[in-house]
Structure 1
Amino acid sequence: MFRSSNSADLDTILAFANAEPVGWTDAGRYRRELATNNYRDHWTWIAEASGYPMARAIWWAPSGADHPVALDCLLVKPSVKQPEELAAGLLKAGHEAFKAAGATTLPDYTIDVAVGWHEDPRAMEAVAWRRRAAECAGLESFIERVNFEWTPGTVLPVPVHDLDYRTGTDQEFKTAFARAAEGSLDAQTRNNLAIMGPRGQAQDDLEFYLSLPGERAAWRLAFVPSGTPIGFIIPTRTAYDASVSYVGVYPDQRGHGYIHELLGEITRVHAASGVPRITGTTDLDNAPMLAAFERAGYCIIKRRLVLTA
């Protein structure tokens, strides 16, 4: 039986543990996220056999959201011979319930893994069965992303180009999102363009970044001294950390090193506010952005696998 949890299931949910080398939600985190309304009883699902819990799935969303946006944790008891089959059934049941409640898209599934997970057979297998389950439940697109971190004490990037930064209206940033998406190396941006078109993609980006807990006033459009626009930055926050949320360089301005300037400015803005760390993420295939993070003094802390519909 697949069902959503209720408050009486808390001990059952917290009793799950994981020995596989992939990220998962332990009891402490579950309690914290439940208290902040990022996890909710009806977004946590359990698979039972004869009343015994065999698997659990935990979905997450911003505290004010109506529907979950990401699957944070998927665990199946080690005694289950083919975990992907049970897990797929659990995910399908959750997806159907979310759609019945009004969700228009399936939540992504994110799996945190170590930097060298490709060389770890146990990690490879842990990812493999989860990926098979996710694909069976409709999450067929696979992206590997690299997570970076900058901490105080690291040398700040020094500006090379003389750029001007200005505030902008929502409409100006909507135009900027559409312009920067052209020829983007970011897989999710390309997917959104294919599905939504330029206008829809830009509107979706605008709504998403406005929903983050960072300061809207920190968003900046970037120009060279002559007044030519070259891109923009969004130095805002995730639910947990100061973040390199968006670095956009316009197609006709690429190849001049502006990506390093823009990332450096985001880093300086956050560092000036005294944050304990700055995080950033980019696709494994996005070589220019990977190089920019490394040049700016960011360290790789983990990789994240994203499975999406």
Structure 2
Amino acid sequence: MRPITGRDELDLFTRFPYALNSELADDLDAGRRRTDWMWVALHGNRLLGRAAWWGRPDSADPLYLDVFDIDDDAGSARIDIGAQLLRTTMAAALPPGATPPEYIRFVPPDWRDGEQSRRVVDGRMAALEQVGARLFVERLRLEWRAGTPIPPASRRLEFRPVHDDEEILALMTSAMDGTLDAHSRDDMTRMPAREAAELHFHDELAGYSSPREWWRIATLPGGEPVGFVFPARNDYNPIIAYIGVVPAHRGNGYIHDILAEGTRILAEQDVPRIRAATDLGNQPMANAFARAGYLTYERAITMTWS
């Protein structure tokens, strides 16, 4: 078990098929990956397992474990091999005593329906459980594709740009009340809603290089805010980065108007697709995306260490 030696071993590392394989070279160039964060388990020339971490270019430590595969032809030993690979790479890639960052795995939308796909997902999860990880949440990964009709502009709401960071944080804090998002709910077991909103804003939203002029506050005709949507572009795709309705205005279907506005802003940039995600258990948000023409193209399994 060892890290790859460099880009010359990407062919070795990508012997296991996975959606992220095509991004690895660019991630290495951009500093989102490092060769010492990309490990392989070998038996002679045979690849038995691999693991890779992802981080921002300025990150000293990785932020996610998002590539982890084991040879499914290795029988029952594959889980032990996978667990040993995880222990080895965690000891090398993480600071001593640190809680590992979350693991994310993209899986087919119907992964539970096929014997092979279920075996693959269950095997990786079993190896992670051996090293202390537990299932945290399953999320829908969604995609709007160019040419999909966009609902007409809202007749009930008006949209304006964001005034400043304080307005954003106040609305995000309000939207935390009653949220169905697993990450936000978990954050609020350890910190006040305002602190959780600040963490989300500074760790993610503030880092996007796309224009903040795309962000919109939804208001009633009199100017009272009812919600917000933050269209953006991450390192890979245009996305609906964050969307919410404040508690006092939930139950009126405003989420459909707000999502349509965010989708329209990105579609006007002539993009081939728009990506989004929501928790499997957040049925109202999942319904809103489906109504707006977003398709579930895959799911994401997230596991964490407590």
TM-score of the pair, normalised by structure 2: 0.89
In the alignment, structure 1 residue 177 sits paired with structure 2 residue 172: yes
Residue type at the aligned position of 1:192: D
Same amino acid, percent of matched pairs: 30
Change (3 A) 1:259 1:15: closer
Change (3 A) 1:54 1:221: same
Change (3 A) 1:8 1:281: closer
Q: In the TM superposition, what are the counterparts of 1:129-208 in structure 2 within 5 Å?
A: 129-158=123-152, 159-207=154-202, 208=204
CA offsets, 1:117-170, max 9 Å, x none?
Answer: 111011111111111222233331331111111122111112241323231322
1:14 is aligned to 13
1:287 is aligned to 283
1:76 is aligned to 70
2:118 is aligned to 124
Q: CA RMSD in A?
A: 2.4
Q: Is the 8 A contact 1:259 1:292 kept in 2?
A: yes
1:67 is aligned to 61
Q: In the TM superposition, what are the counterparts of 1:103-118 in structure 2 within 5 Å?
A: 106-118=100-112
How many residues align structurally?
302
Gaps of at least 5 residues in structure 2 are none
Q: Is the 8 A contact 2:141 2:296 kept in 1?
A: yes
Q: Is the 8 A contact 2:135 2:301 kept in 1?
A: no
User: What's the secondary structure of 1:83's corresponding residue?
Assistant: helix
Q: Is the 8 A contact 1:168 1:219 kept in 2?
A: no
Q: Is the 8 A contact 1:243 1:278 kept in 2?
A: yes
Q: Is the 8 A contact 2:36 2:93 kept in 1?
A: no
Q: Is the 8 A contact 1:5 1:42 kept in 2?
A: yes
1:85 is aligned to 80
Change (3 A) 1:95 1:260: same
How many Å apart are 1:240 and its aligned residue?
1.0
Distance in 1 of aligned mates of 2:264 and 2:44: 57
How many Å apart are 1:183 and its aligned residue?
0.7
Distance in 2 of aligned mates of 1:209 and 1:104: 25
In the alignment, structure 1 residue 96 sits paired with structure 2 residue 91: yes
CA offsets, 1:195-234, max 9 Å, x none?
Answer: 2332331111111111233323322222212222211111
2:238 is aligned to 242
TM-score of the pair, normalised by structure 1: 0.88
How many Å apart are 1:242 and its aligned residue?
0.7
Gaps of at least 5 residues in structure 1 are none
Change (3 A) 1:228 1:86: same
In the alignment, structure 1 residue 46 sits paired with structure 2 residue 40: yes
The list of structure 1 runs, each at least 4 consecutive aligned residues, that deviate by more than 6 angstroms after superposition, is: none
Task: Pick from 209, 216, 228 the counterpart of residue 212 of structure 2.
Answer: 216
In the alignment, structure 1 residue 271 sits paired with structure 2 residue 267: yes
Change (3 A) 1:130 1:36: same
Moved more, 162-171 or 298-307: 162-171
How many Å apart are 1:8 and its aligned residue?
8.1
